[in-house]
Amino acid sequence: MAQLNDNTEETYVVRRITPVEAERLQGFPDNYTNIEYNGKPAPDSLRYKCLGNSFSVNVVKWIAQRILDVEKDSDDVT
């Protein structure tokens, strides 16, 4: 949403995605990273860190399937 500031210029605000939205983008179930940390729910910062250091499940699955397909095709040729 555009807002006008004092100089009548348009400024835009970008909303940060929630940990649940980040989990969905990575292909994980909702609240997958919502674990207990030091006896309390994990802070969002650690949840984002875990998600940032992970691989997208859907992408890894696609790559693995492509590798298997190529391997199968190369076995058929020889």
- The structural domains of the chain, with segments of one domain joined by +, span 18-77
Residues of the chain with pLDDT > 90, as a percent, come to 71
Task: Kindly tell me if the per-residue pLDDT of 1 is higher than 60.
Answer: no
Distance (Å, whole) CA 13 – CA 51: 23
Give pLDDT, residue 39. 95
Task: Kindly tell me if the per-residue pLDDT of 6 is higher than 70.
Answer: no
Render pLDDT for 39-74 as a digit per residue (tens, 0 to 9): 999 999 999 999 999 999 889 999 999 999 999 888
Distance (Å, whole) CA 39 – CA 76: 55
